[in-house]
Structure 1
């Protein structure tokens, strides 16, 4: 795991504000397009790609990307990564490109302008406190992957304050098995040093390592479709094994 001696007090509030500015700068056009009924996915993809590259450039993130060959052209994946920082988002978009949408917590969709732009661009809101709505969100994700859009989920469910992996939530793994998707494990290491916990000050010139691991095909886990009567135990065993394998892959990247 990458280590850092950076102090939160030595970060830059101006750098954080520039990141906020860049984020709202791409959000407004999407909100306007939505009001005029002219939102297009390809335009949103390009905005996300351009935004991510600007963030990486102005924070001078030094990206070390390994395993690009596993991001096969023409394929779509359920991308699963660890979660260290808000800067995970621009970093992953910079590496993968604009053709990826996140499953993320409902609170972000309440942020003025930014939340509306996320919704219109196709990001997926999940409410883990409401099981039915969470299931509906995962169904949307299933359709997106079928339409050749990568869907990204952080199975920890929240940021790790230390960089160590937190326990995984099971929803994404249920989805992978039910829809028989290929999971693309991704390790993110170093973004926590750009914006450490309990500070609004960002650091520039941070080394960030991204490891794209070989895809893990859920079809190899012997379960197909929703668990029916008499198959619940088999489904849970398959899901838990998939979850362990994805976790082990992500851990290997540190």
Structure 2
């Protein structure tokens, strides 16, 4: 993993507050637009693109991206990445552009203004404690991909406290197999140095490396077995291969 050049050890509360400000600065107009029926995908895409670039610039992130040749223009992917920090979000939007929507835990949608803006922009809520609602959320993700919008999910389900990969949740892989989707694995390394989990103060000047791995076509796995047992074996193999891709990026 990367070692990062950090600002003073305690970090900067001002930088964290500036990131919150930039987030609210695109949330307010999205909520207002929704009230007047003016929300469009293109406007949301541009706001997300601009927001991510500002956050990356304010934090003075030294961002290195490898594997851009693995992106096929005009193709929508089920993007999967590891999860080290809240800064994974602006970093990935800065790399991928605005036409991507997150599958995010339902707690984030409860925040005033921010949560409503996420919902109006097409972000997808998931409640892992309710299997039926989780399945409904994954169906929304499938429909979003069918419209040509990338969908991003962190299969760990939460931020890693150590930076090491956590066990994967199965939902995204079930979706990939059932809908025959192409997964784009991405490794994000270094964002934990900007804002570790549960911390309040952010750090400037972190080195962050993003590795875009070759896409993984789930259809090759879906054909490996018949019946429920065969499906589980195919899903587990797909999970292992995505995990191995993540690990190659560290």
**Which residue does 1:244 correspond to in 2?**
240
**Which residue does 1:199 correspond to in 2?**
199
Structure 1: unaligned runs, 5 residues or longer: none
Contact 2:84/2:196, CA 8 A, preserved across alignment: no
1:74 CA displacement: 1.2
Q: How does 1:207-218 map to 2 (within 5 A)?
A: 207-218=207-218
Alpha-carbon RMSD across the aligned residues, in angstroms, is 1.5
1:121 CA displacement: 0.0
| Per-residue Cα deviation, 1:63-90 (whole angstroms, up to 9, x for no partner) | 0000011111011100000000000000
**Which residue does 1:68 correspond to in 2?**
68
1:232 aligns with 2:228: yes
- For 1:119 and 1:171, how far apart are their aligned partners in 2? 20
**Which residue does 1:51 correspond to in 2?**
51
**Which residue does 1:93 correspond to in 2?**
93
**Which residue does 1:79 correspond to in 2?**
79
**The residue matched to 2:163 in structure 1 has which SS?**
coil
TM-score by length of 2: 0.97
Contact 2:11/2:203, CA 8 A, preserved across alignment: yes
Structure 2: unaligned runs, 5 residues or longer: none
**The residue matched to 1:247 in structure 2 has which SS?**
helix
- For 2:114 and 2:23, how far apart are their aligned partners in 1? 8
TM-score by length of 1: 0.95
1:199 CA displacement: 2.1
1:152 CA displacement: 0.1
1:5 CA displacement: 7.2
Q: How many residues align?
A: 250
**The residue matched to 2:158 in structure 1 has which SS?**
coil
**Which residue does 2:249 correspond to in 1?**
253
- For 2:222 and 2:124, how far apart are their aligned partners in 1? 28
**Which residue does 2:129 correspond to in 1?**
129
Contact 1:8/1:199, CA 8 A, preserved across alignment: no
- For 1:199 and 1:139, how far apart are their aligned partners in 2? 34
**The residue matched to 1:186 in structure 2 has which SS?**
strand
- For 1:82 and 1:30, how far apart are their aligned partners in 2? 28
Runs of 4+ in 1 over 6 A off after TM superposition: none
